[in-house]
């Protein structure tokens, strides 16, 4: 089987995949999250690990959009502390740096450091940390990128300063697959449901979860692509020892929501270990 991650090589997604699966699986780096999903539904790959949210930068919008758009399931997730390093072709002094290249979510993860040290430095945003490193490597100006240590080693850059991320910087990656969703005993489950936009519509749905004593650990709304006057809600549910309750809730949701897309029940991992360990 071929697994995919966001590329180019040297991203945190690649590092997370090696922790989540193992370093001997066949990994294919793909240039965008959108293309990962396209390759999944075309059966060119069987599984992928993509970033869903970060404790500093919030939800990755593209990931949520693709989850709703494509027929995929979630088979697991991984919570990984993210350490960001400043790097360049040389070990410049901070006041020498003319250009900072980063990814938008990474900027949010390091904004305390950036605002303090580079208030007037030009910043360019790109699609991944590894891509930022590639840009810096070809720059004629004194440029710096923010990425992981593997990217520095892979592309021959020197680390100027380590661990520039904000405190409590954790990214959640999800294992998406073209397999059917599983309804099994597990840590959590995820779904997206759509509701008409009128007062009390969400309250009625949340009452169903309360009735079955199911805790929602994440809820996020966005305009529904199905209808102009409706909203979609992505949710994560704590379902440990509550499989029967989840099944009953899904039945009720299908009766009161415009649509329900169940991604499956799955277990969580932290740095390669079960969250229970």
Higher-confidence position of 174 and 272: 174
The two three-digit tokens of residue 119, written as one number: 């208030």
Tens of pLDDT, residues 22-53? 777 889 999 999 999 999 999 999 999 999 99
CA atoms within 13 A on the CB side of 179: 16
Domain ranges, ordered by start, for the chain? 3-82+169-177, 85-161, 188-266
Tens of pLDDT, residues 210-248? 999 999 999 999 988 767 788 999 999 999 999 999 999
- Look up the CATH architecture of domain 188-266: 2-Layer Sandwich (3.30)
Tens of pLDDT, residues 108-160? 999 999 999 999 999 999 989 999 999 999 999 999 999 999 999 999 999 99
- What is the CATH code of the structural domain delimited by 85-161? 3.40.190.10
85-161 has the same fold as 3-82+169-177: yes
CATH 3.30.310.40 fits 3-82+169-177, yes or no: no
- Give the three-state DSSP class for 19: helix
8 Å CB contact between 74 and 190 = yes
């Amino acid at each position: 089987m071929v697994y995919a991650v966001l590329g180019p090589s040297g991203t945190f997604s690649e590092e997370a995949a090696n922790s989540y699966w193992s370093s001997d699986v066949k990994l294919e780096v793909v240039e965008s999250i959108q293309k990962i999903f396209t390759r999944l539904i075309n059966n060119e790959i069987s599984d992928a690990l993509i970033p869903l949210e970060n404790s500093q930068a919030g939800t990755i919008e593209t990931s949520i959009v693709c989850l709703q758009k494509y027929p995929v399931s979630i088979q697991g997730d991984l919570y990984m502390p993210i350490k960001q390093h400043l790097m360049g072709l040389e070990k410049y002094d901070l006041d020498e740096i003319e250009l900072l290249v980063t990814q938008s979510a990474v900027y949010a993860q390091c904004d305390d450091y950036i605002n303090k040290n580079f208030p007037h430095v030009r910043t360019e945003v790109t699609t991944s940390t590894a891509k930022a490193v590639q840009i810096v490597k070809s720059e004629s100006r004194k440029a710096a990128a923010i990425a992981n240590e593997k990217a520095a080693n892979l592309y021959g850059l020197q680390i100027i300063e380590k661990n520039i991320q904000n405190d409590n910087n954790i990214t959640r990656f999800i294992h998406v697959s073209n397999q059917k969703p599983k309804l099994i005993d597990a840590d959590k489950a995820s779904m997206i449901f759509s509701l008409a936009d009128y007062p009390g519509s969400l309250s009625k749905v949340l009452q169903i979860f309360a009735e079955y004593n199911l805790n929602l650990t994440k809820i996020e709304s966005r305009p529904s692509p199905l209808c102009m006057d409706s909203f979609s809600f992505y949710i994560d549910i704590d379902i440990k020892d509550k499989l029967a309750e989840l099944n009953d809730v899904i039945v009720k949701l299908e009766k009161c929501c415009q649509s329900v897309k169940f991604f499956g029940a799955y277990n969580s991992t932290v740095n390669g270990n079960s969250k229970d360990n």
